[in-house]
Amino acid sequence: MSNTLKKIGSIASTVLVVLMVLCAVFLMGSRILGYQCYTVISGSMEPAYSVGDLLYVKRVDVNAIKVGDPITFILNEDLVVATHRVVRVDTENQRFYTKGDANEIEDNDPVHFNNVIGVPQFSIPKLGYVSNFVQHPPGMYITIGVGIVLLLLVFLPDMFGKKKESDGEIQVAVIMQEGIDAAAEENERLKEELARLRAEVGGKDAE
């Protein structure tokens, strides 16, 4: 029963570690490929993007953006980021006019070409919640703590198992050595006894 529980715990820990690694790949590894990740925090682009979805945005040539494309951009001086769809393009003044799919009217302010971050390439539903949790305290600290605990659960049993096995081998070696020493001592005692008996028999023959 104990071994079964250990196996189940080991499998569960391994699965959780793999899931954490996959999340790290989705959240961090994408940057290596040139993507930036943003979490949808409003329903203005539903049903295309829902609250909690994680958007993977890639920088593109703004001149290639056309009406109907969703764009991710810096909304204001507070560096708030938004994603809306382009409804008009003012090439001369380098402005995009945007609107959320779920909104009835256009956004009040046009988006300057320089404020465009990129174009969403794809999204993963609800992964944005995970992204926000692991990237900001206290979720960041909880995630790190859980990761350390899982790693310990995965590797410590093997380490202790090897230590116990090593200790067992040492104990067996000690017992064997003690047996060898005892046999040697008994052999020496028998030799001495045999020599004594021979001496006594030799003495009687001389008489």
Active site annotation includes 107: yes
pLDDT band at 207 (very low <50, low <70, confident <90, very high): very low
3-state secondary structure of 47: coil
Give the pLDDT of residue 58: 94
Provide mean pLDDT across the span 52-79. 94
| 8-state DSSP, 28 | I
Catalytic residue chosen out of the listed positions 53, 84, 123, 131: 84
> Is 99 or 206 the better-scoring residue by pLDDT?
99
27: tokens are: 């959240």
Active site annotation includes 84: yes
Provide mean pLDDT across the span 154-174. 57
Q: What residue ranges define each of the domains in the chain, with the CATH number in brackets?
A: 34-132 (2.10.109.10)
**Does residue 78 carry a pLDDT above 70?**
yes
**Does residue 206 carry a pLDDT above 50?**
no
Distance CA 189, CA 199 (A): 15
66: tokens are: 């056309």
**Does residue 67 carry a pLDDT above 70?**
yes
pLDDT band at 91 (very low <50, low <70, confident <90, very high): very high
Give the pLDDT of residue 205: 46
**Does residue 23 carry a pLDDT above 50?**
yes
| 8-state DSSP, 41 | -
Active site annotation includes 181: no
> Is 143 or 42 the better-scoring residue by pLDDT?
42
Per-residue 3-state assignment (H helix, E strand, C coil) for 51-119: CCCEEEEECCCHHHCCCCCEEEEECCCCCCEEEEEEEEEECCCCEEEEECCCCCCCCCCCEEHHHEEEE
Provide mean pLDDT across the span 99-103. 96
Give the pLDDT of residue 197: 59
Catalytic residue chosen out of the listed positions 13, 53, 107, 131: 107
> Is 114 or 191 the better-scoring residue by pLDDT?
114
Catalytic residue chosen out of the listed positions 44, 53, 123, 131: 44
Q: What is the pLDDT of residues 114-163, one digit of tens each?
A: 999 999 999 999 887 776 666 657 765 666 676 676 666 666 666 555 55
Residue with tokens 């969703």: 70
Average pLDDT, the chain: 77
